[in-house]
């Protein structure tokens, strides 16, 4: 089978997942397309090395790398913010005021906004888990981190969402139970 055909049969079925991941990482429609196109070029180049069963996580790994390359050259100022300390402390760095939160939490945009505002390291594992329903093992492979880190980042991402000012609705649903 030619490389193009391998790409068509093995990789293309996961284009939606690739785009969704790129879209949540870049948070921009045009940038997401750029990242996916770059990932496709790379995937086509290496598709020979791909074994069938793991096509999705293989492709998503490439998408994620393409994103980080894009990120380094296009958003260098954001890297410092996402790296290191920020990952443990940051909640919403564009801190949303209470009145904005009140406005937002009424509509279902609120949760999407809160996800978009998660620090990158949390956002990527959350998207892979909740939208692609990948196992911790697959996520660990794609994000290039130990399984234990996948576990702790997901727990933290969820905790951040639950206490996000955007999402008081969830807190209220819990009828006073504190996390």
Partner 1 sequence: MNCNEATSLMSAFTDGETDRARTHSIERHLRTCPQCAEAHRSLLALRTRLRAEVPYFPAPQALRTRIAERLEHQASSSPVDRAATSGRWRWLTAGALGGCAATVLAWMIGTSLLQWRANEDLALEAVQMHVRATLNHHLIDIASSDQHTVKPWLSARLDYSPPVQDFTADGFALVGGRLDYFDRQPVATLVYRYREHTIDVFVRPESARAPPSSLRTVRGFNVAHATGSGMDWLAVSDVNTEGLSAFVQKLAQRKLP
Binding site for partner 1 (CB under 8 A): 2-4, 7-8, 12, 15-16, 18-20, 23-24, 29-30, 32-34, 36-37, 40-41, 44, 73-74, 108, 110-112, 115, 126, 129-131, 135-136, 151, 154-155, 158, 161-162, 170, 173-174, 177, 179
Of 26 and 61, the one with the shorter C-beta distance to partner 1 is 26
53: exposed, middle or buried (C-beta count within 10 Å: 0-12, 13-18, 19+)? exposed
For residues 60 and 125, is the Cβ–Cβ distance under 8 A?
no
CB of 75 to partner 1, least distance (A): 9
Give the closest residue to 133 by CA, choosing from 115, 118, 154: 154
> In whole angstroms, how close is the CB of 89 to partner 1 at the nearest point?
19
The C-alpha angle 142, 147, 153, rounded to 5 degrees, equals 85
Task: For the CB of residue 54, give the shortest distance to partner 1 in the complex, in Å.
Answer: 19
Angle 47-140-125 from CA coordinates, rounded to 5°: 100
How many whole angstroms separate alpha carbon 131 and alpha carbon 14?
13
Q: How far is the CB of 15 from partner 1 (least distance, A)?
A: 4
- Closest to partner 1 by CB, 80 or 112: 112
């Amino acid at each position: 089978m030619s490389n193009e055909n391998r790409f068509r049969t093995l990789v293309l079925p996961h284009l939606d997942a690739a785009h969704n991941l790129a879209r949540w990482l870049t948070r921009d429609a045009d940038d997401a397309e750029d990242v996916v196109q770059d990932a496709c070029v790379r995937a086509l180049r290496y598709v020979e090395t791909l074994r069938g069963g793991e096509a999705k996580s293989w492709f998503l790994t490439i998408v994620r790398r393409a994103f980080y390359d894009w990120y380094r050259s296009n958003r260098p100022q954001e890297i410092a913010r996402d790296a290191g300390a920020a990952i443990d402390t940051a909640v919403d760095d564009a801190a949303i005021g209470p009145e904005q939160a009140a406005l937002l939490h009424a509509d279902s945009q609120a949760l999407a906004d809160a996800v978009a505002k998660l620090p990158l390291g949390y956002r990527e594992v959350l998207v892979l888990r909740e939208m692609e329903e990948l196992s911790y093992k697959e996520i660990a492979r794609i994000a290039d981190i130990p399984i234990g880190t996948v576990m702790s980042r997901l727990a933290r991402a969820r905790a951040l969402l639950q206490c996000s000012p955007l999402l008081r609705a969830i807190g209220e649903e819990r009828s006073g139970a504190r996390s």
